[in-house]
Amino acid sequence: MSKYPFKDIEATWQKYWAENKTFKVTEDPAFPKDKRAYVLDMFPYPSGAGLHVGHPEGYTATDIYCRYLRMNGFNVLHPMGFDSFGLPAENYAIKTGTHPKITTQANIDNFLKQIKALGFSYDWDREISTHTSEYYHWTQWIFLKLYKAGLAYESDMPINWCPDCKTGLANEEVLDGRCDRCGHQVERKNLRQWVFKITEYADKLLEDLDTLDWPDSVKAMQRNWIGRSEGANVTFMTEKTNDPIQVYTTRPDTLFGATYMVLSPEHKLVEKITTAEQKEAVEAYVYQANLKSDLERTELAKEKTGVFTGAYAINPLNGEKIPVWVADYVLISYGSGAIMAVPAHDERDWEFAKKFDLPIIEVLKGGNVEEEAFTGDGPHVNSGFLDGMGKEEAISKVIAWLEEKKIGSGAVNFKLRDWIFSRQRYWGEPIPLIHCEKCGIVPVPEDQLPLVLPPTDNFEPSGTGESPLANISDWVNCTCPECGGPGKRETNTMPQWAGSCWYFLRYLDPKNNKAMVSKEAEEYWMPVDLYVGGAEHAVLHLLYSRFWHKVLFDLGIVQTKEPFQRLINQGMITSFAYQRSDKSLVATDLVEEKDDKFFEISTGEELSRVIAKMSKSLKNVINPDDIIRDYGADSMRVYEMFMGPLQVSKPWQTKGLVGVNRFLNRVWDIAEREITDEEPSKDMIKVLHKSIKKITEDTRDLEFNTGIAQMMIFINEAYKLEKCYRKLWEPFVLLIAPYAPHLAEEMWKKLGHNNTLAYESWPQWVEELTKDDEKEIVVQINGKLRCKMILPAGTSLDDMKAAAHAQDRVKELIEGKTIIKEIAVPDKLVNIVIR
């Protein structure tokens, strides 16, 4: 069979689409609101490694959907751009001295070449890159809007700090307590920071999740991250110094079981209440705790540590004197940074009490608190006026009691922390603020934006906790816009999240230099109807962008409360890896396959095949460029969609890719046959209508793998015909077009059309023609007609007999009789012979 000329075909059509701007889209008022669609991909960070196979997965899915929508009369916005500020480019600059602007542009060019080679139907006139001043002009403008709304503040906060890289790190840049760049242990360091009050939006961010068509798992992750809990603040007094210690508890009903208290090592009272004898031990402990990350400190599995302060506090409920400890499992950043410990009913407290031999008092019945903490519900005991009550009742009773006595009150707490927004780095948006000795902090006037990132070859961080921008004194020293006196620019930059918080708005009106987006464009397209991307963005990007959007909404700048109406997470494309019996992995190139078994070449050991992430060390990384070169973009597209449902993770199998390529070759083979206007057989018409129905529904529902399976069924039948029937082929070419657009355009041309098929009408099916024929079957017993039944034409003989036995009349007549013989005639009758 001929290998179809995908190289020529793909190059030709990519050129055609680009030259004719086939996918350029405008805000055409002729399309009513329900015929407009905004379909968005998570834009890539243009890394030096280029595109990996995960990118085309989501991008192909949205592309198929967009092409399908266009053919169904929709005006479709489908843009692409680059998230191009960020750490790797700056690291590379420090290592090689190449300016990040140069590496970033080179990487973008490479990504563009790769993305364009896949034939996606983006409107390239709307391309954006977040590192360009035309773009970050508006990132800075939004920052000022948030600042002026009182949502940005300066604060000295302990943050993750790598002493080796001399920079602050975001939480997501710390892995297992170590620096993601150099592996050095991360410390906590107080640094001056710009912080956003995302916590002011905690309630809205939580409530509006209910309005979104998002995967439940992502919603659950956002809910957990926001972490709303209800409980009470309770004040304990220290015994000698008479200082109030406020604690936050979700279980005020367990107050009678509080046998000790814990202050976080950073708590303000630690120094004050610690006794002279305990001073040295406490100071040493506090110093050690400072070196650990929050994650290390709170991990359940970690051995608990702590020291006694020597001080006592009084339980306000029963007047008992309880010891006050310092322990790092209590975080300063949550609640009030102090807890009442109830070892009988809290796991962490239980472990701590066991280790330090502190009393465990049961206050709810139901478990064995000597063995483990009981966290369930049950009647209260040892609890005075709460005895006998269940959890909920006891909680409200005790809160009422605390409120009456003015020693506590009901309280709501969030896990969500304010968002540390500044970075001590070069390759990011400058924060447009000026420090003036006279006027304080002064925003850069809007008409002076963009505040351009100054060029420099000195990217090395200073080590003082300042960004490299602090070294550029020409830039730092400026005039205060308010008083005209000397001012100093803010030298921290924004984190990578800034640009991606709002990029979907810029696509709507990318060249506007008067506003971030015109009201008309925003009203025309928003919200995003479908957003597809990886699950790793469940909290950070998707939470940050919802926050900015809500602020912009409250300021009247945008008109939708939520940016992304529907979200789909694509599954990860994994790979196979090979495992020895001791579970160690063998690189793919050291393995041979014999009779579906796998062996390590050097030792002959049989290996088991397992699923693993693609990785350089396992030599199982697939490069999209190689696939496109050897099999073509259409094969790559169809294969990635055929691997399985979009949302699940699935292993790459080159065998499967070859199979898809063979399928497209067969399609081409049919297209090369003599085209005829003769009427196809009735059976083929039926196959066609069934296919139109199935492929339409599956494409609409983003169930591309089963849609492709139906195309294969159709091609199996069409392949048996000698000619290419126009009546069958025109609709089929349109059906496959979203999936294999280059091939389809070429076949459309062969059918005599001289225009792109991108805006042809999607084929329609006739319901009648999708139904199987039905036959009336006669059922006889001993040759005598007893009843009739309707079955699909071509029902197998066994199924016909079974259907006959299911008839009530037959059951009745053969009861207690012996069946001698059963005869079935296809599509006609069943005769049961009994005695």
Does residue 345 touch ligand ANZ according to CB under 6 A? yes
Identify residues 411-430 at the interface with ligand ANZ (CB under 6 A): 413
Quick check: 331 binds ligand ANZ (CB under 6 A)? Answer: yes
334 binds, among Zn ion, ligand ANZ, none (CB under 5 to 8 A by kind): ligand ANZ
Inter-residue contact 600 to 607 (CB < 8 Å): yes
Of 249 and 620, which CB lies nearer to ligand ANZ in the complex structure?
249
Among the residue ranges 205-213, 236-244, 330-338, 699-707, the one whose residues contact ligand ANZ (CB under 6 A)? 330-338
The strand pairing partners of 247, in sequence order, are 234
Q: Please, which of residues 115-174 interact with Zn ion by CB under 5 A? A: 162, 164-165
293 binds ligand ANZ (CB under 6 A): no
Give min distance, CB of 169 to ligand ANZ, in A: 22
Q: Is 250 in the site for ligand ANZ (CB under 6 A)?
A: yes
Question: Binding mask 551-590 vs Zn ion (x if CB under 5 A, - otherwise)?
Answer: ----------------------------------------
Residues 426-455 binding Zn ion (CB under 5 A) are 436, 438-439
Ramachandran bin of 184, using left for φ above 0, alpha for ψ from -120 to 50, beta for the remaining angles: beta
Nearer CB in complex with Zn ion: 181/197? 181
Q: Two tokens at 219?
A: 């919603």
| 578: its two tokens | 């090979």
Helix locations, 291-346, DSSP H: 294-298
Per CB under 6 A, does 251 bind ligand ANZ? yes
User: Site for ligand ANZ (CB under 6 A): which residue of 249, 422, 635, 699?
Assistant: 249
Determine if 636 is a binding residue for ligand ANZ (CB under 6 A).
Answer: no
Among 182, 220, 295, 820, binds Zn ion (CB under 5 A): 182
Work out which of 62, 107, 121, 254 binds ligand ANZ, going by CB under 6 A: 254
Cα 745 to Cα 67: distance, rounded to the nearest angstrom: 12
From the list Zn ion, ligand ANZ, none, partner contacted by residue 439 (C-beta under 5 to 8 A by kind): Zn ion
Does residue 337 touch ligand ANZ according to CB under 6 A?
A: yes
Inter-residue contact 656 to 643 (CB < 8 Å): yes
Going by C-alpha positions, the residue among 821, 829, 818 that lies closest to residue 777 is 829
> At closest approach, how far in Å is the CB of 482 from Zn ion?
4
Check the annotation: does 616 bind a ligand.
yes
Q: Quick one: CA torsion of 801, 807, 813, 814, rounded to 10 degrees?
A: 40
Tell me the two tokens of residue 139.
């990132």
CA proximity to 572, closest of 621, 527, 535, 520: 535
Over the window 205 to 234, marking each residue x when it contacts ligand ANZ by CB under 6 A and - when it does not, the resulting string is ------------------------x-----
Structure tokens given for 158:
């302990």
Nearer to ligand ANZ by C-beta: 346 or 746? 346
Q: Residue 345 or residue 380: which is nearer to ligand ANZ going by CB? A: 345
Q: How far apart are CA 651 and CA 612, in angstroms?
A: 8
Pick what 179 binds: Zn ion, ligand ANZ, none; C-beta below 5 to 8 Å, kind-dependent.
Zn ion
Q: Which is nearer to ligand ANZ, 315 or 413 (CB)?
A: 413
The nearest distance, CB 160 to ligand ANZ, in angstroms, is: 18
How far CA 221 is from CA of 227, 538, 543, 572, 574, in Å, comes to 9, 7, 10, 18, 23
Distances from the Cα of 160 to the Cα of 119, 291, 295, 361, 522, angstroms? 43, 10, 12, 38, 38
* Number of residues located near ligand ANZ, criterion CB under 6 A: 18
Q: Work out what residue 331 binds among Zn ion, ligand ANZ, none; the CB cut-off runs from 5 to 8 Å by kind.
A: ligand ANZ
Considering CB distances under 5 to 8 angstroms, the limit depending on partner class, which of Zn ion, ligand ANZ, none binds residue 436?
Answer: Zn ion
Q: Cα–Cα distance between 781 and 530 in angstroms, integer? A: 60
Tell me how far CA of residue 6 lies from CA of 22, 239, 634, 661, 715, in angstroms: 20, 83, 8, 10, 19
Q: Read out DSSP for 725-749?
A: EHHHHHHHHHHHTTTSHHHHHHHHH
Write down the least CB distance from residue 202 to ligand ANZ, Å.
13
Rounded distance between C-alpha atoms, residue 157 and residue 155, angstroms: 6
Among 81, 119, 335, 680, binds ligand ANZ (CB under 6 A): 335
Is 236 near ligand ANZ (CB under 6 A)? no
Distance CA 593, CA 600 (A): 9
Taking CA atoms, 450 is separated from 99, 138, 615, in Å, by 20, 8, 40
Q: Which of residues 721-750 bind ligand ANZ (CB under 6 A)?
A: none
Question: At residue 608, what are phi and psi to the nearest 5 degrees?
Answer: -100, 145
The stretch among 201-209, 341-349, 581-589, 792-800 that binds ligand ANZ (CB under 6 A) is 341-349
- Residue 164 site contact among ligand ANZ, Zn ion, none (CB < 5 to 8 Å, cut-off depends on kind): Zn ion
From the list ligand ANZ, Zn ion, none, which binds 483 (C-beta under 5 to 8 Å, kind-based)? Zn ion
Residues in the chain: 835
Burial of 94 (0-12, 13-18, 19+ CB in 10 A): middle
Query: How far, in Å, are 147, 191, 571, 652 from residue 622 at the CA level?
Result: 45, 42, 16, 8
Structure tokens at 790: 């309707």
Least distance from ligand ANZ to the Cβ atom of residue 332, Å: 7
For Zn ion, the binding residue among 480, 498, 501, 702 (CB under 5 A) is: 480
Binding-site residue ranges for ATP: 616
In the complex, the residues that contact Zn ion under the rule CB under 5 A are 162, 164-165, 179, 181-182, 184, 436, 438-439, 480, 482-483, 485
In the complex, the residues that contact ligand ANZ under the rule CB under 6 A are 229, 248-251, 254, 264, 330-331, 334-335, 337, 339-340, 342, 345-346, 413
